[in-house]
Amino acid sequence: MSLKKIVIDPITRIEGHLRIEVEVDDDNVVRDAWASGQLFRGIEIILKDRDPRDAGLLAGRMCGVCTNSHFRGAVTCVEDAYGLEIPKNAEIIRNLMAMALFIQDHVVHFYHLHSLDYVDVTSALTADPKMTSKEAHKYHENPYRNSHSHYEETLKKLDNFVKSGKLGPFANGYWGHKTYKLSAEQNLLLISHYLEALKFQTKVSKAVAIFGAKTPHPQTLVVGGITSVADMLNPQRLNEYLFIMKEAHEFVQRAYLPDAKLLALAYRDEIKAGVGRANGNYMSAGGYSFEDERKLFCDGVIHNHDFANVQDFDASKITEEVDRAWYEGNQFEFEVKYTDLNSDGSLKTEKNDDKYSWIKAPRYDKQPMETGPLARILISYSKKNPLIISFVDEFLEETNLELIDLCTAVGRNAARAIESSYICEYIFKLVSELLQNVKYYDTDTWKQYSFDALQSEAQGKAFLEVPRGTLSHFVNIKGTKIENYSVIAPTTWNATPKNFDGLRGAYEEALVGLKIEDRSKPLEVLRVIHSFDPCLACAVHVIDTKGKELGKYKISSLK
Ligand code: NI
C-alpha cells in the first residue's frame, strides 16, 4: 500500500488561513489528517499594560467576523475580575445583539461559505422554474419567495452572470464533480436562497447595530453594562429590531431550515455512513438565561457520543498543550518555537513531536473536544432542555434521522439551522422580558462603580457560547493595568493539532475514513472542514513573526 498526500492550502471560504493535509491510501481513503493554522496573531500582546476598561474594544479586533463575541468576552471577564454584576437590562441588550449575530453568522455560513460544496451552479442553469416551485413544497408548506417568476428571474440573473464571464464567487468551483447530488431544480432553489441571503445579511447586521451603534465592531458595551440606553427606551428602535428579526425568522423558517432538510435527505447515505463524524467529545459552556433563570443553552460535556451521560462543564479541567504546535514550554508558559517545513514544502508530521500549526492544543480533561452548534444541540437535547426539544424532534422526524446522525458533516449544518430556528423564537421572549422591565420602571443599564476603589490585583474569566462554539477569555489585572491576557476561541478547539498522545482534534478525526473521488478535486475534504465554520483569525494568538518571546501566559492561576 502506498500513501499519498493531498494538500489544500489555503482552504477558502473561511475566515483566516487554514492548511489541511490528508494522507490517502490506494483506494483514496483518508488514513490520517493534519490541520494547520498558518496565521500569526498578537492582539493579546496589544492588550498588555492597557486599562482593563478598554479590553473590550481592543479584543473585538481579534477577528473581523466575531467582533461582538470578543468584545463581550473581554468586557465580561473584566467584570468577573472585579466582581461586578451587571443590570438585567444590560444582559438582555447584550443577548439581543449576540442573538442577531448568531442568525446572521449561521445564514452567511450556510449559503455563502458552504452551500457551493453541495450546490452545482452549472446544473442550476438547466432547471425548470415551475418544477423548482413544486420541489420547494416538499420541505415547507409555504416556501420563501416561491413563485415561478421569481425562479425565472433568478435563472436569468445566473445566466447573465455566467455569460459575462466574471464568475466572482462562482469561479473555480469543482462544478460537475461526481459527488454533487442535487437535482437541477434543487440547485436552483438553493441558488435563489443564496442570492436572497445576501440581502438578508445586511438587514440582520442592522439589528446588531441598533443596540451596538455599528457592526462589525459594535461600540456600546462597557464594563458594568451598556451605553445604548436611549435605544433601549425608544419604542421605535425596539420595533425596528423586532421587525428585522421577524423577517429573519421568516427566512430561517421558510428557506434556511427547509434547505437543511433538503440537504439531509439528498445526502442521507453520507449521513448514515457517518461521513465527517469527529471523536464524539462535545462541550458547551451554556448560557443565555431569561425569566426564571432558564437557559437557552445547557452547559455540559459529552464523551464518545455517550448522550445518556452528560457531565457538568468544569472550566478548571481546561488545559492548553503545545507539543505539536510551534511553541515551546509547559502547560502554562509558552514561547514561540517555529520549525521549518519539509524540503518539499509539506508540514513536518512524521515524528510524534513534529510541530505543524500555530494553533495551540486545548484539552478538556486531557481530551480534544468539538464545540459549536452541534455540541450545543446534543448537550441541551440530552439534558432535556424544554426550549429546544421540539425543534430537534421535528427535524429528526421529518428527515427520518436519529440524534447520532447529526454527528456528521451534513448533520453539523442541520444543527446550525435548527439552532437558528429556536434562537429566533427566543429573541421574541427576550424582547417581551425587556418591555416588561421597562414598563415597571426598571431602566437600569449600568452598574455604578468607582474604578479607583476596585481591587488592584484581580483575575477574571469568561466562558461564552458564540456562533462557532465555546469562547474563553482570561485576564490578570495588576494595579490599574492588564498584566496578562489569554483567549481560547471555538476554532482553537475544533482545529487543534495533535498532541503528545497522538489524539486527533475534531477537524482531523472528521477527515479520517473519508473517501476521495478525485484526488485533484478534494471536494469531500472541503465539505467536512467547512461544516465546522472555521474562523482561523480567532484561533491563533500570541505570536511574533521574528520568533521573539512575547510574553508568558499563565492559565493555571486563573482557576
Ligand atoms: Ni472569528
63 CA to middle of ligand 1, Å? 5
List pLDDT tens digits, range 100-115. 999 999 999 999 999 9
Q: Is 546 exposed, middle or buried (0-12, 13-18, 19+ CB in 10 A)?
A: exposed
List pLDDT tens digits, range 139-182. 999 999 999 999 999 999 999 988 888 777 788 788 999 999 99
539 CA to middle of ligand 1, Å? 7
Report helix, strand or coil for 27: coil
Does pLDDT of 463 surpass 50? yes
Q: How confident is the model at residue 293 (pLDDT cuts 50, 70, 90)?
A: confident
* pLDDT of amino acid 171: 80
Q: What is the mean pLDDT of residues 84-89?
A: 95
Distance CA 436, CA 101 (A): 24
* pLDDT of amino acid 143: 98
Identify residue 196 by its one-letter amino acid code: E
List pLDDT tens digits, range 367-378. 999 999 999 999
559 CA to middle of ligand 1, Å? 25
Does pLDDT of 401 surpass 70? yes
Residue 500 has a CB neighbour count (10 Å cut-off) of 12
393 CA to middle of ligand 1, Å? 30
Cβ(366)–Cβ(372) below 8 Å: no
φ, ψ for residue 367 (rounded to 5)?
-110, 140
Q: What is the mean pLDDT of residues 260-281?
A: 98
423 CA to middle of ligand 1, Å? 20
398 CA to middle of ligand 1, Å? 33
**Confidence (pTM):** 0.94
537 CA to middle of ligand 1, Å? 6
In the structure grid, which three cell numbers stand for residue 210, read together? 441598533
117 CA to middle of ligand 1, Å? 21
Q: How confident is the model at residue 281 (pLDDT cuts 50, 70, 90)?
A: very high
Distance CA 96, CA 363 (A): 31
Does pLDDT of 24 surpass 70? yes
Distance CA 270, CA 400 (A): 14
Does pLDDT of 500 surpass 80? yes
Distance CA 295, CA 376 (A): 12
In the structure grid, which three cell numbers stand for residue 282, read together? 462535545
Q: How confident is the model at residue 40 (pLDDT cuts 50, 70, 90)?
A: low
178 CA to middle of ligand 1, Å? 33
Does pLDDT of 187 surpass 60? yes
220 CA to middle of ligand 1, Å? 20
E strands in 291-437: 294-302, 318-321, 327-329, 334-336, 361-364
Q: Is 548 exposed, middle or buried (0-12, 13-18, 19+ CB in 10 A)?
A: exposed
Residue 27 has a CB neighbour count (10 Å cut-off) of 8
292 CA to middle of ligand 1, Å? 32
